[in-house]
Amino acid sequence: MQAGWQEDYVDKCCQVAASFDDVYLEIGLYWKELMKKPLNDPNIAIDQLLWGTDWGASMVEHSQPNEDPPFYWEQISERGLPAHQPDYWGSSLRQLFDFAMERDLPQEELNLILGGNAVRLFDIEVEDDRMFQQYIDV
């Protein structure tokens, strides 16, 4: 889901990811409650989730406290294009951390979402990958 509030996009993507192990979901612009969909689906593995955003785009955070969802990212035509740099990273990280704290998500799983899965998927050489789950055959 790029942005907006239509959860049906996420539902459809989750159906595909639940059916295929090689489908990955980028959850960077999900609000906290929306993150429950892929993370509570027993057929979507934690290693199918990637955090990230296309930081630098022209969407702004549309806030609507006490509504569902409480905020979403959208380009609202009547406002025009933002002249400032919307802070995708801060907002999306706050949502992920709030969700992780509420669910008591293990740190190893959070590390995978925040980078370990991307390192594996894109075969990125990192200086030290000890923060990402690995097991040694004995």
User: What is the signed CA dihedral for 78, 2, 96, 40, rounded to 10 degrees?
Assistant: 130
Who has greater pLDDT, 63 or 19?
A: 19
What's the CA gap between 41 and 17, in Å, rounded?
10
Cβ(58)–Cβ(81) below 8 Å: yes
* Structure confidence by residue, pLDDT tens digits, 29-78: 888 889 999 999 999 999 999 998 766 567 888 888 898 888 888 887 88
pLDDT band, very low/low/confident/very high, at 2 (cuts 50, 70, 90): low
Cα 138 to Cα 135: distance, rounded to the nearest angstrom? 9
pLDDT, residue 79, reads 83
What percentage of the chain reaches a pLDDT higher than 70? 95
Instruction: Count Cα atoms within 13 angstroms, Cβ side, for 77.
Output: 0
More confident residue, 94 or 56: 94
pTM score, whole prediction: 0.84
